[in-house]
A and B are shown apart, each in its own frame.
Chain A
Amino acid sequence: MSEQEHIDHIVPPSTYITIIITLLCLTALTVAAAYVDLGIFNIVVALAIATLKATLVVLFFMHAKYSPKRTKLVIMAGIFWLLILLFMTLSDYASRVDYRGIRYPMSQNTHFIASPRA
């Protein structure tokens, strides 16, 4: 039978306390960053901080750091597939151009104007 050497690594409460404090600080940071005008980078910073928080939860609260390689593969696959969904769809939207040469979206008044024709 195939099984892995799986020793239940018990994470000490001190680690959890460090993580929760870090997460709360990062939450405060993301709120503060929202009040600074970074233009296009506001969303980038917000997502980066959120991803950092999520990574900490996955690695430490969910014990992914101490899990077998297979678990890490499953996590990576999930993230990768989400990125396929998001980026390949966005690539279609980003590249659409209608017969007038106008890039999608055409304007804010899209409910009066039909979608771009082929």
Chain B
Amino acid sequence: MSAVTKTNTGPALQLPEKTYLNSTYGIRSWLLTTDHKRIALLYLISVTFFFFIGGFFAMMIRLHLLTPSGYLLSADTYNRMFTMHGVTMIFFFLIPSIPAILGNFLIPLMIGAKDLAFPKINLLSWYIYIIGGSFTLYSMITGGLDTGWTFYTPLSTVYSNSAVAPAVVGVFITGFSSILTGLNFLVTVHTMRAPGMTWFRLPLFVWAHYATSVVMILGTPVIAITLGLAAMERVFGLGFFNPAMGGDPILFQHLFWFYSHPAVYIMILPAMGVISELIPTFARKKLFGYHFVAAASLAIAVIGFLVWTHHMFLTGQSTYSAVAFSFLTFLVAIPSAIKTFNWTATLFGGSISFDTPMLYAFGFLGLFLVGGLTGLFLGCLGIDMHVHDTYFVVAHFHYIMVGGAVMGYLGGLHFWWPKITGRMYPEWIARIAALVLFVGFNLTFFPQFVLGYLGMPRRYHVYPPEFQVYNVMSTAGASILAIGYLLPMVYLTWAAFYGKVAGNNPWPATGLEWTTQSPPLTENFEVTPVVTWEAYDFHNRPELGLDVPGHTGSPTVAPAHGDD
């Protein structure tokens, strides 16, 4: 294993005097802030809160499924558990997590700007998130929702007697938070880059968020109108989705999945962006195929809009339509595969260190691979015929969402924690937690692939007794996974106040955010930086003090002319 070069091996560092954290005091300075970094922390607290709520529902599901005949919950209550788990985790955790926390914090720093393009709209997006979350919490308190997170009609609009309306309104409102964040990011990347920061010198984290923002802008309004129409139907009796009036549930499904499929790319693209930062840093090597990875991010965003009907293969589609969407589904896997190849190729010949963020990156690579490949199985019509609506699907998306997106999120949190707080987390506990998480995750979800293949349907509160052993394994894994999540919550919070002071660039990494103090000033940079180096260029940055094999001390690259 190669030596890890860290810059803080000298005398103990001090935190900088003035930072964004201590520039102003009082609750009003936080609740009325327009500083993107403080807003990111506001999101961190609220998103973590919803993560725990979603986790609570997951715990109820897994505890209930320990026995085949369902001892813990009634059928109705079980329906509410998986519905609320899905709604909370998707709309209030996965979609905002990386963009609203890491994206908000880092994008201006990474491009050399003082803030996002629209700081007040940024704050507004947080308040909208809180208001939407409150409606959904109200729905939970008044009995919850039992329609599945997919809100299929006419159950959700006519027949369900659960708290559908407040939940639907809550998700509708939160959608605008997503739209405003995406709008902010798109405009910021277009107009706020520092001199010399051309498009192809941007970190791939920024490209990933650009692609994510394209999806947010184009997709979220459609779920907004869909849920709006569903709410109108439930409350006022409009009839688009109600067969009794001649309406069509399939229309709801089309409108719903037009957003909800691209939504999964909103959830994974930012995580891929994090991985694109972690791997070059901890392999001490320029990312392989920068242009391909950037283009692949955009390709995923665009092609991702063309495949939604693969969620509807069993709704009576014609063969022609099904084949077309199956083909497009296979097509959308290609850019993801390109990225995975490029990350792996970056490792080859690199000087790899196994810091915690890198452990999460490795976890991502393996688990995203499994999740992505099983997605291809599901895109294959013959297989989908058998495993649709079984635990195979559940396992597939948890491998991507948890094994992929959450690993990326935690890896990113650890990597940038020193920048956000100025202090380093405790390395060995963090590595153990990462391993616990990895083991727990696989024990929870791998048996679910087997269950699905054997035929256990999803969303059922009872199951045939022969499936019990896999369910017990899954629940055992879930409890280990829970520990894997709790540990970082505890030590990251501890580290924020008592961790070792990290300095500007503890790793060291090449991004613009690492050239400024930790934690940063409110206006990010004392002087607007002028960028003269390429992304991930470990060779031409002597000021980073890197021990890079093959370093020849070649001159810095001349600044490229700024263009759009």
Contacts and interface: CB of A to CB of B under 8 A. Distances in A.
A92 B254 contact: yes
A98 B258 CA distance: 24
B251 to A, nearest CB: 8
Contacts of B245: 111
Contacts of B309: 88, 92
Given A81-B305, A84-B306, A96 B246 contact: no
Interface in A64-86: 70, 77-78, 81, 84-85
Given A1-B193, A92-B309, 15 more contacts: A2-B191, A2-B564, A78-B218, A88-B309, A89-B255, A92-B318, A95-B320, A96-B318, A96-B321, A97-B318, A98-B316, A115-B248, A115-B316, A118-B314, A118-B317
Contact of B193 (A2, A81, A97, A115): A2
Interface in B222-268: 222, 243-246, 248-251, 254-255, 258
A8 interface: no
B543 interface: no
Interface of A: 1-4, 70, 77-78, 81, 84-85, 88-89, 91-92, 95-98, 110-111, 114-118
Contacts of A98: 316
Contacts of A118: 314-317
B190 interface: yes
A77 to B, nearest CB: 7
Contacts of A117: 316
Interface residues of B, number: 35
Given A2-B562, A89-B254, A110-B243, A96 B316 contact: yes
Contacts of A92: 254, 309, 312, 317-318, 321
12 contacts: A2-B190, A2-B563, A3-B191, A81-B218, A81-B305, A84-B306, A89-B255, A95-B321, A96-B316, A96-B318, A111-B243, A115-B250
Interface of B: 190-195, 198, 218, 222, 243-246, 248-251, 254-255, 258, 305-306, 309, 312, 314-318, 320-321, 324, 562-564
A102 to B, nearest CB: 12
A96 B250 CA distance: 11
Contact of B243 (A88, A89, A91, A115): A115
Identify the interface centre among A4, A85, A114, A115: most chain B CB within 10 Å of its CB.
A85
A89 B254 CA distance: 7
B190 A115 contact: no
Contact of B564 (A70, A89, A110, A116): A70
Contacts of B191: 2-3
A97 B258 CA distance: 22
A97 B309 CA distance: 16
- 4 smallest beta-carbon distances between A and B, as pairs: A95-B318, A2-B562, A116-B316, A89-B254
A4 B564 contact: yes
Given A1-B193, A1-B195, A110 B316 contact: no
A96 B321 CA distance: 8
Identify the interface centre among B243, B258, B316: most chain A CB within 10 Å of its CB.
B316
A97 B320 CA distance: 11
Nearest to B219: A81
Given A77-B218, A95-B320, A89 B258 contact: yes
Contacts of A2: 190-191, 193, 198, 562-564
A94 to B, nearest CB: 9
B249 A115 contact: yes
Nearest to B249: A115
A91 B321 contact: yes
A95 B114 CA distance: 53
Nearest to A108: B246
Nearest to A104: B316
A70 B563 CA distance: 12
A95 B249 CA distance: 17
A70 B314 contact: no
